[in-house]
């Protein structure tokens, strides 16, 4: 394949996105060390509040995502703390998408601050990249890093390695030299656990992964073993999807850090009940139901544990999710040590799942859930709620869940 024949994929990654948006909106924050957090009060001196994004000015002091606010302040006493505004970040993301869509509808949203574009037929790739970067700078006062390559894997690698406000282009001919010393963990999709397992096999660089025996990788990792070997050779065949392509949601979940580490089972169950209702509300919004519930706990020493359980029929009501999650929780009670955080998710999803598709025993529960959701959309979140959440509210769940908790979904 010649350079002229290669596919041309662009990966755009916004720089310190949440913090940069806050700086763009508030001139007083520009040039200042800023951290964006999810908590709405400074009770207990923000001791349990986690940094979600640090501006580049804050990163100079070694502040990173995952630091607590006190740890960030220790590194930089003058750091500015900003409570995150998801609506602001979503609105800005939509404006970024609009800029990309001026060039092509082959724009795939990977996350709130990352997108892929297929530049085939759009002229000189460098010119398109610079036009996109300039428009984002001029219209939104933000910077981004752009990578261009023959596929998504290499394009993302190019943008990741040239931040902030960077631009770089890889060609297929660059792969041998690039991958010779590239740690395998820097390949998109190779997480810490996979990298550690590969290291046990003597595979530490991308090039070594490309040379590895495919049968060995398949025995160790299953079907993804073939994909891993291909990635080690710089191969990645997933195309860029059109902007209006409907993403397949694989799981829906919420997690939350508790106000204080606790051994109190009533508090743990109260927060879990609320999280299940939050998951159910989003499943109803997405019009999905699922059969597998996953519960995870993080303890005071930051170790964690997880259990999954499946149900014979798909569900999406908070009550049904909680019933299964509570049975999973029973396996961990009493806690071996104080619990710091809780998470719950539902997977093995399918579209639909209205009362007509469910068994009679759960149809009424589903209808009540939909009615409650309609009332809550009109009058405010959890205006109508299960009576058991009145107990949860006594522990401060209402004030803390939602604003402080993290919502997530895993899309393909």
Instruction: Please tell me the distance from the alpha carbon of residue 83 to that of residue 117, in angstroms, as a whole number.
Output: 31
Written as six digits, the tokens of 136 are 């984002």
Instruction: Please tell me the distance from the alpha carbon of residue 345 to that of residue 196, in angstroms, as a whole number.
Output: 26
In the sheet with 34-37, reading across from the earlier edge strand, the strands are: 51-54, 34-37, 80-83
Written as six digits, the tokens of 109 are 């949203």
Written as six digits, the tokens of 314 are 């798909």
194: buried, middle or exposed (CB in 10 Å: 19+, 13-18, 0-12)?
middle
DSSP for 301-355, written as a single string: TS-EEEEEEEEEEEE-SHHHHHHHHHHHHHTT-S-SS-EEEEEEEEEEEEE---G
Q: Tell me if residue 381 falls in helix, strand or coil.
A: coil
Instruction: Please tell me the distance from the alpha carbon of residue 411 to that of residue 313, in angstroms, as a whole number.
Output: 22
Instruction: Please tell me the distance from the alpha carbon of residue 180 to that of residue 172, in angstroms, as a whole number.
Output: 14
Kindly state the DSSP code that residue 174 receives in the 8-state scheme.
G
> Is 366 among the residues known to form the active site?
no
Residue entry with tokens 């959890």: 382
Q: Is the dihedral of CA 276, 279, 285, 289 positive or negative?
A: negative
Kindly state the DSSP code that residue 186 receives in the 8-state scheme.
G
Pairing of strands 114-118, 107-111: antiparallel
Written as six digits, the tokens of 358 are 């469910």
In the sheet with 114-118, reading across from the earlier edge strand, the strands are: 107-111, 114-118, 9-14, 144-149, 167-169
Written as six digits, the tokens of 160 are 């990741």
> Nearest 10 degrees: CA dihedral of 219, 223, 225, 229?
140
Residue entry with tokens 């397949």: 248
Q: Where are the beta strands (DSSP E) in 43-166?
A: 51-54, 80-83, 107-111, 114-118, 144-149
Residue entry with tokens 């261009």: 148
Residue tagged active-site, from 22, 114, 277, 366: 114
Q: Which residues are marked as active site?
A: 114
């Amino acid at each position: 394949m010649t350079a002229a024949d290669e596919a041309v994929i662009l990966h755009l990654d916004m720089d310190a996105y949440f913090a940069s948006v806050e700086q763009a909106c508030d001139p007083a924050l520009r040039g200042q060390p800023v951290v964006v957090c999810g908590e709405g009060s400074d009770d207990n001196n923000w001791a349990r509040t986690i940094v979600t994004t640090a501006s580049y000015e804050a990163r100079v002091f070694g502040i990173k995502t995952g630091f607590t606010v006190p740890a960030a302040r220790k590194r930089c006493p003058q750091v500015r703390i900003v409570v995150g505004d998801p609506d602001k970040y979503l609105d800005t993301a939509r404006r970024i998408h609009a800029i990309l869509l001026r060039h092509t509808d082959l724009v795939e949203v990977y996350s709130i601050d990352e997108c892929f574009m297929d530049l085939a037929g759009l002229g000189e790739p460098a010119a398109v990249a610079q036009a996109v970067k300039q428009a984002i700078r001029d219209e939104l006062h933000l910077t981004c890093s752009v990578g261009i390559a023959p596929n998504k894997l290499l394009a993302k690698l190019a943008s990741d390695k040239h931040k902030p406000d960077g631009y770089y282009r890889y060609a297929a001919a660059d792969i041998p030299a690039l991958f010779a010393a590239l740690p395998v963990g820097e390949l998109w999709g190779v997480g810490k656990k996979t990298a550690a397992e590969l290291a046990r096999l003597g595979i530490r660089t991308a090039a070594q992964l490309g040379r590895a025996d495919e049968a060995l990788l398949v025995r160790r990792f299953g079907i993804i073993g073939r994909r891993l070997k291909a990635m080690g050779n710089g191969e990645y065949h997933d195309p860029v999807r059109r902007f209006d392509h409907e993403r397949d949601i694989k799981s829906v979940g919420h997690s939350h850090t508790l106000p204080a580490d606790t051994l109190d089972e009533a508090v743990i169950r109260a927060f879990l009940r609320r999280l299940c209702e939050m998951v159910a509300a989003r499943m109803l919004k997405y019009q999905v139901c699922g059969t597998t519930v996953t519960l995870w706990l993080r303890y005071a020493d930051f170790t964690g544990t997880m259990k999954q359980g499946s149900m014979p029929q798909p569900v999406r009501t908070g009550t049904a999710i909680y019933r299964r999650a509570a049975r999973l929780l029973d396996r961990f009670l009493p806690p071996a040590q104080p619990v710091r955080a809780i998470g719950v998710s539902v997977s093995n999803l399918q579209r639909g799942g209205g009362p007509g598709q469910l068994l009679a025993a759960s149809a009424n529960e589903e209808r009540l859930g939909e009615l409650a959701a309609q009332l809550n959309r009109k009058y405010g979140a959890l205006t109508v709620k299960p009576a058991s959440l009145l107990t949860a509210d006594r522990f401060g769940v209402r004030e803390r869940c939602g604003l402080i908790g993290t919502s997530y979904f895993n899309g393909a």
